[in-house]
């Protein structure tokens, strides 16, 4: 039998047989929050100290990145590199003399680091107990005459180097006046008085210009009592400022001998105290905070990132976005939820605790079409819901039965109002229907549909479920028919993961993953099925702090308007990128009909 080949119009084939899909263009990330202002500079890392010079110059030691940030009197910031590993370790508070020379005690190498302000470093001294020798020095100071003071901690003494290079030492191990036990802070004023944070004696000591030592304070939490003070400074009037480190507070002794103090635990991981010429006090802890003893509540942040003020974060976790342009964040370290409205204003909801509307390390947040907010209240082993009237209710309790939770970490809702909860500690997903009935997908392991420390979940417009299966270093996907597939293996190549914590999907089916252990975001295009990574550096897993770089990214959220939001956890910030989709249409093919 002979067959004829008939051709149908290519235009007709094109219109009837092709499917339009969308590819994600290159993403460009920028920091959404917190934002720099005239009074605040965002920075990632841990500050150790701040130095304020009379000409308005500011120095802040960032020990995380082995560098000093310098702000000149005009407000311009530059970075001074710390010493190379072969020279020393820049880990203790710095002092800066009037010529700009920088000093720091290197307790690791038992010497004093000396920097020229341009990134060139030399050392002074060696290990020992003689003059100009040190045992675990921790603090330095310089006076207006250029003399150098060293808290020679392991030798239980203070050493002073005059401008000719000669050394003098004060003190020995003990509890008497002029004796020390691991002193960790030193300061000298223009009148020749020396001030010492006598740390292990839980007191401060002052040496006047006649050579008399006077101790103040003892162990305790009361006013004028200390637990391991480590930093001390005075102002031009003779008031003494002390960082009462283990009490996480600042104490001040006025010239009449009266003590005042901020509340216990006013700060987190307090390192040191500093003053400027305008009378402001700077508490250096997880960030640098500015205030006075009259400041009520949370001190404003001056430099850094971590804070409990609105719009600042401590270990930001899960994210969600609604159709009105609002962003919802589980601010884990602050035990609260933060909401950013479409105009960019942040508000905070909740506090630490176990009552309604209180949280303990909340990890996940979701919002439904009606505007109800759902929170995975991880440390309290429950889900909390806030309705549109602002009323909180609690769902579930600790346990392993259906409807109970152990460290719930992720949460999502679908268009029908069903709730999906990642019950991480129980290695399962739980689903609550609109009628309030719970079902569980609870097979632990590495097979399809089984979990090992699942941590977050997303649902697309077709009811497809996406789970970040952290312990298995993969993303699990369940279609509406209940069939599972998986993408990803362990590694640093595109499409491979290390402890992925966040997952999101847009309306086109593009998949977004916070590849946490690799310090990057990965995107799988719906059109190509290929993975593109953002961040991770040259090795594919390097942390970073510039825009488009990440340090343990955790939560991701995709808005209906096409914005991608990332909770950059260890950088304590939110990064954002606009998702630009390109229409991709497969090429038409000639349809051949056989007759």
The answer to whether residues 283 and 326 belong to one domain is no
Do residues 115 and 87 touch, judged by C-beta distance below 8 A? no
The answer to whether residues 240 and 388 belong to one domain is no
* Residue 539 CB neighbour total at 10 angstroms: 9
Strand-pair partners of 306: 313
* Torsion, CA 398, CA 401, CA 402, CA 407, rounded to 10: 30
Q: How far apart are CA 421 and CA 408, in angstroms?
A: 7
The answer to whether residues 431 and 520 belong to one domain is yes
The answer to whether residues 245 and 344 belong to one domain is no
| pLDDT at site 17 | 40
Q: What HEC string does 381-430 produce? A: CEEEEECCCCCEEEECCECCCCCCECCEEEEEECCCCCEEEEEHHHCEEE
Q: Is 53 part of a structural domain of the chain?
A: no
- Residue 152 neighbours by CB under 8 Å, 6+ apart: 134, 135, 137, 158, 159, 169, 183
**Regions of the chain with pLDDT less than 70:** 1-23, 581-595
Tokens of 368: 């439904």
Of 531, 534, 533, 503, the residue nearest 320 (C-alpha): 503
Do residues 102 and 92 touch, judged by C-beta distance below 8 A? no
Tokens of 518: 């690799």
The answer to whether residues 434 and 513 belong to one domain is yes
The answer to whether residues 288 and 331 belong to one domain is no
Q: Is 383 part of a structural domain of the chain?
A: yes
The SS3 assignment for 556 reads strand
Tokens of 463: 């009811």
| pLDDT at site 581 | 67
Q: How far apart are CA 25 and CA 236, in angstroms?
A: 58
The answer to whether residues 270 and 348 belong to one domain is no
Q: Is 41 part of a structural domain of the chain?
A: no
Q: How far apart are CA 508 and CA 503, in angstroms?
A: 15
Which residues form the domain of 493?
321-544
CA 229 to chain centre: 26
| pLDDT at site 1 | 39
The answer to whether residues 283 and 357 belong to one domain is no
The answer to whether residues 271 and 390 belong to one domain is no
Tokens of 22: 């969308």
Q: Is 46 part of a structural domain of the chain?
A: no
Q: Give pLDDT tens digits for 439-454.
A: 999 899 999 999 999 9
Count: domains in the chain: 2
The answer to whether residues 267 and 414 belong to one domain is no
Q: Give pLDDT tens digits for 45-76.
A: 999 999 999 999 999 999 999 999 999 999 99
User: Longest C-alpha distance within the chain, in Å?
Assistant: 122
| pLDDT at site 24 | 72
């Amino acid at each position: 039998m002979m067959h004829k080949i008939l051709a149908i119009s290519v235009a007709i084939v094109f219109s009837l047989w092709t499917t339009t899909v969308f590819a994600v263009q290159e993403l460009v990330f920028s920091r959404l929050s917190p934002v720099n202002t005239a009074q605040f500079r965002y920075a990632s890392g841990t500050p150790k100290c701040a130095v304020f010079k009379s000409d308005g110059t500011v120095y802040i030691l960032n020990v995380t990145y082995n560098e000093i940030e310098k702000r000149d009197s005009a407000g311009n910031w530059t970075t001074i590199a710390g010493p190379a590993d072969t020279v020393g370790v820049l880990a203790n508070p710095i002092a800066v003399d009037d010529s700009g020379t920088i000093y720091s005690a290197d307790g690791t190498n038992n010497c004093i680091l000396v920097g020229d302000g341009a990134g060139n470093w030399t050392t002074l001294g060696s290990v020992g107990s003689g003059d100009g020798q040190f045992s675990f020095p921790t603090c330095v100071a310089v006076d207006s005459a250029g003399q150098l003071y060293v808290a020679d901690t392991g030798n239980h003494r203070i050493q002073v180097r005059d401008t000719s290079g000669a050394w003098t030492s004060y003190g020995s191990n003990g509890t008497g006046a002029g004796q020390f036990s691991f002193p960790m802070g030193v300061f000298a004023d223009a009148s020749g008085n020396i001030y010492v944070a006598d740390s292990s004696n839980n007191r401060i000591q002052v040496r006047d210009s006649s050579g008399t030592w006077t101790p103040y304070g003892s162990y305790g939490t009361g006013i004028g009592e200390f637990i391991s003070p480590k930093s001390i400074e005075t102002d031009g009037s003779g008031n003494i400022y002390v960082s009462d480190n283990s009490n996480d507070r600042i104490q001040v002794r006025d010239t009449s001998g009266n003590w005042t103090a901020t509340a216990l635990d006013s700060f987190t991981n307090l390192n040191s105290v500093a003053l400027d010429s305008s009378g402001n006090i700077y508490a250096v802890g997880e960030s640098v905070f500015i205030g006075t003893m009259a400041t009520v509540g949370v001190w404003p942040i001056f430099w850094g990132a971590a804070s409990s003020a609105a719009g600042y974060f401590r270990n930001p976790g899960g994210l969600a976005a609604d159709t009105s342009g609002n962003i919802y964040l589980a601010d884990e370290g602050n035990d609260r939820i933060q909401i950013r409205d479409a105009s960019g204003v942040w508000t905070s909801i909740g506090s630490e605790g176990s009552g309604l509307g209180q949280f303990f390390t909340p990890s996940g947040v979701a919002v439904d079409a009606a505007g109800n907010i759902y929170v995975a209240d991880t440390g309290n082993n429950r889900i909390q819901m806030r309705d549109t009237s602002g009323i909180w209710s609690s769902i579930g309790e600790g346990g392993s039965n259906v409807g109970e939770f152990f460290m719930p970490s992720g949460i999502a809702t679908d268009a029908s109002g069903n709730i999906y909860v990642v019950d991480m500690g129980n290695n399962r997903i739980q689903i609550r229907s609109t009628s309030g009935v719970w079902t569980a997908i609870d097979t632990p392991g590495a097979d399809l549909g089984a979990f090992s420390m699942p941590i977050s979940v997303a649902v697309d417009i077709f009811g497809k479920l996406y789970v970040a299966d952290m312990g298995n270093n993969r993303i699990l996907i369940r279609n509406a028919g209940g069939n599972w597939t998986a993408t990803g293996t362990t590694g640093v190549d595109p499409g491979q993961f290390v402890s992925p914590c966040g997952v999101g999907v847009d309306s086109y089916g593009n998949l977004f993953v916070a590849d946490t252990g690799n310090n990057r975001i990965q995107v799988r295009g719906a059109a190509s099925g290929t993975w593109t990574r953002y961040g991770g550096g040259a090795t594919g897993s390097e942390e970073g702090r510039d825009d488009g770089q990440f340090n343990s990214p955790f939560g991701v959220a995709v808005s209906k308007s096409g914005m991608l939001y990332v909770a950059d956890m260890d950088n304590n910030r939110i990064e954002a990128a606009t998702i630009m989709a390109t229409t991709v249409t497969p090429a038409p093919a000639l349809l051949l009909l056989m007759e």
